[in-house]
């Protein structure tokens, strides 16, 4: 004999399926659309579940029951989330590597690999910026062309390892003689370019050049423990008195350097117009 709840569910299900949307009961209950065929299936399924007592377990689901019933959806959601996180972390890692590679390439393109000083490219970039500031602020600046004395002999007698170490030590000594606003670059071999920004007086400028000459003439110690002695010669040109363009100033500093070497090396010469002849 059918259970009372089954008979009731059957009657309710049947009554709802044939109820028109314009019936008084439907209007009062604000039930709309029962006459649409797709809703018949939904209502019939709901009450078929009601007849077998499914409603008894509606409030008794545990988390375990939910997981057992919907584990596929949870797995898909977890895999999707994991994939998104992994992809995001991978993209962040690629961006960081790309940034590091760009920085490394720029460093290689603008710095001397041996001494770590700026190379000719970066020197021109920085020095031209300084000259624009000097022109705007009406400041005096000096360009120095420096060449080491007796460096070739060190390479020939003690080898390239000793020469390389000497260049590194020389670069460090020159940098220590300068201010933070000055620029020093190795442009090849044993040649260096220096820009002294905002020179107040010629005396202060000459003091810096003499300090560089003294620092480079102090003995060096080779990797094998030998004491090495070199020196340097410096040619200089003045901005803006002797030129307003960097290439012109470097050319005049180079001519002054040639004169300094002819004078016996280990000294500095400031360019004079008669040296261009």
DSSP class of 116: -
Instruction: State the SS3 of 154-220.
Output: HHHHHCHHHHHHHHHHHHHHHHHCCCCCCEEEEEECCEEEEEECCCCCHHHHHHHHHHHHHHHHCCE
Alpha-carbon distance of 216 to 171, in angstroms, equals 9
How far apart are the C-alpha atoms of 73 and 156, rounded to whole Å?
77
CB atoms within 10 A of CB 145: 26
Q: How far apart are CA 101 and CA 93, in angstroms?
A: 12
3-state secondary structure of 19: coil
Is 147 tagged catalytic?
no
Please provide residue 174's backbone torsions phi and psi, each rounded to the nearest 5 degrees.
Answer: -60, -45
> What residues does 235 pair with on adjacent strands?
145, 269
In the set 44, 182, 190, 226, the catalytic residue is 190
Task: Centre a 10 Å sphere on the Cβ of residue 112 and count the other Cβ atoms it contains.
Answer: 19
Structure token pair of residue 153: 């002999």
- Distance in angstroms (rounded) separating the CA atoms of residues 197 and 182: 6
Q: Is residue 267 within 8 Å of 233, Cβ to Cβ?
A: yes
Collapse the DSSP code of 150 into the 3-class scheme (helix H, G, I; strand E, B; otherwise coil) and give the result. coil
Q: Which helix (H) or strand (E) holds 228?
A: strand 227-228
Cα 228 to chain centroid, rounded? 40
Q: Which residues are catalytic?
A: 190
């Amino acid at each position: 004999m059918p259970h009372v709840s089954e008979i009731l569910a059957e009657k309710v299900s049947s009554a709802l399926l044939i109820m028109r949307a314009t019936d008084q009961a439907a209007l009062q209950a604000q039930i709309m659309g029962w006459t649409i065929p797709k809703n018949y299936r939904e209502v019939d399924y709901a009450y078929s579940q009601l007849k077998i007592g499914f409603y008894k377990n509606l409030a008794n689901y545990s988390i375990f029951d939910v997981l057992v019933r919907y584990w596929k959806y949870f797995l898909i959601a977890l895999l999707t989330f994991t994939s998104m996180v992994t992809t995001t972390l991978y993209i962040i890692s690629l961006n960081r590597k790309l940034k590091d590679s760009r920085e490394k390439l720029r460093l290689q393109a603008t710095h001397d690999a041996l001494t770590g000083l700026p190379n000719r490219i970066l020197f021109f970039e920085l020095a031209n910026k300084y000259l624009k500031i000097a022109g705007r602020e009406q400041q005096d600046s000096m360009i120095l062309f420096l060449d080491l004395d007796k460096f070739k002999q060190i390479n020939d007698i003690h080898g390239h390892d000793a020469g390389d170490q000497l260049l590194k030590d020389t670069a460090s000594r020159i940098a220590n003689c300068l201010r933070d606003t000055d620029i020093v670059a190795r442009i090849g071999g044993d040649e260096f370019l220096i820009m002294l920004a905002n020179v107040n007086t010629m005396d202060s400028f000459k003091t810096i050049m003499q300090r560089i000459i003294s620092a480079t003439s102090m003995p060096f110690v080779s990797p094998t423990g030998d004491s090495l002695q070199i020196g340097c010669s410096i040619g200089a040109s003045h901005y803006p008195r002797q030129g307003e363009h960097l290439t012109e100033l470097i050319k005049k500093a180079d001519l002054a350097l040639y004169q300094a070497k002819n004078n016996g090396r280990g000294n500095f010469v400031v360019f004079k117009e008669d040296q261009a002849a």
